[in-house]
Amino acid sequence: MPLEVFQAPATLREQLIEFQARQQCYPLSELEQHKEELAGYVGVYLLYYRGQFPLYANITYANQAKCCMPIYIGKAENPGKRTGKGTIAGGLVGRLREHRNSIRQAPNLDVAEFHFTVVAMAVDLVAWGEAILIRHFQPVIFL
């Protein structure tokens, strides 16, 4: 007898994608202005490019009016989630700061050309949410 495999209902995946589409898009250069709002949350974050780098011209064009084509999708999880002992150290703000700092170190990139959205969610859903959004958007991974 084959092993029975649990599958999340398609409607749940669709709800996540629709929820993500409703989230506010912020300039990455203004991250510190939103740290109080994001503090203490884990979830999935999406980075969008709106700059002049020629290889990403199509991405820039798609993101001009609205953040809709992420260049990168990542997750911010609770480091102690498996043991139940961890705290949310950094969470979404911490991970976005890491990306902002990496971009600042690149000689051909400008933080002002990047925006982000976040999907705050329950700790147990973060890895699933990241996987669903990566499959849906198929972003270019550059970091």
Q: What is the pLDDT of residues 58-90, one digit of tens each?
A: 999 999 999 999 999 999 987 655 445 444 457
Q: In the chain, how long is the greatest CA-to-CA distance?
A: 57
Alpha helix ranges (H) inside the chain: 10-21, 35-38, 57-63, 91-105, 126-137
> Radius of gyration (Cα) for the chain, nearest Å?
16
Map residue 115 onto helix, strand or coil: strand
Which of 46-50, 72-76, 93-97, 138-142 has the least mean pLDDT? 138-142
Looking at the DSSP bridge assignments, the partners of residue 115 are: 27, 48
CA distance 143 to 140: 9
Q: What is the pLDDT of residue 140?
A: 85
Token digits for 139?
């972003």
